[in-house]
């Protein structure tokens, strides 16, 4: 699937979020449901954001970490977003 849902939180379960490691939205959701609370936790549970080639494979043209942190609980997302999202 080379297309993507604009809002990753609305992505169907089979849509890839991490294109270099082949991790789907369901894989990320399951990791969070099973206790992942940081990007490092999700990486350890799924292998997402670990191969460093998403920028080349991801149709969004960037590292998947920006999308992955959106699956985190709101308070954790806000903290992670400070480091990952561009400043205005």
Q: What is the CATH number of the domain that holds 59?
A: 1.10.10
Residues in contact with 24: Cβ distance below 8 Å, sequence separation at least 6, in sequence order: 13, 14, 15, 16, 17
**62 assigned to some structural domain:** yes
Distance CA 62, CA 35 (A): 26
**Of the candidates 64, 44, 41, 42, which has an alpha carbon nearest to the alpha carbon of residue 52?**
64
Q: What is the pLDDT of residue 44?
A: 96
DSSP 20: T
Q: What is the mean predicted confidence (pLDDT) over 8-36?
A: 94
Over residues 44-63, the pLDDT tens digits come to: 999 998 888 877 888 888 88
- In this predicted structure, what is the pLDDT of residue 75? 64
Q: Is residue 2 part of a domain?
A: no
Domain count, the chain: 1
């Amino acid at each position: 699937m080379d297309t993507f849902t604009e809002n990753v939180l609305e992505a169907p379960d089979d849509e890839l979020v991490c294109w270099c490691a082949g991790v789907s939205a369901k894989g990320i959701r399951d990791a969070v449901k099973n206790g992942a609370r940081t990007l490092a936790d999700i990486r350890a549970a799924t292998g997402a954001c670990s191969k460093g080639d998403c920028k080349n494979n991801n149709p969004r043209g960037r590292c998947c970490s920006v999308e992955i942190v959106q699956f985190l609980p709101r308070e954790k997302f806000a903290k992670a977003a400070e480091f990952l999202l561009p400043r205005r």
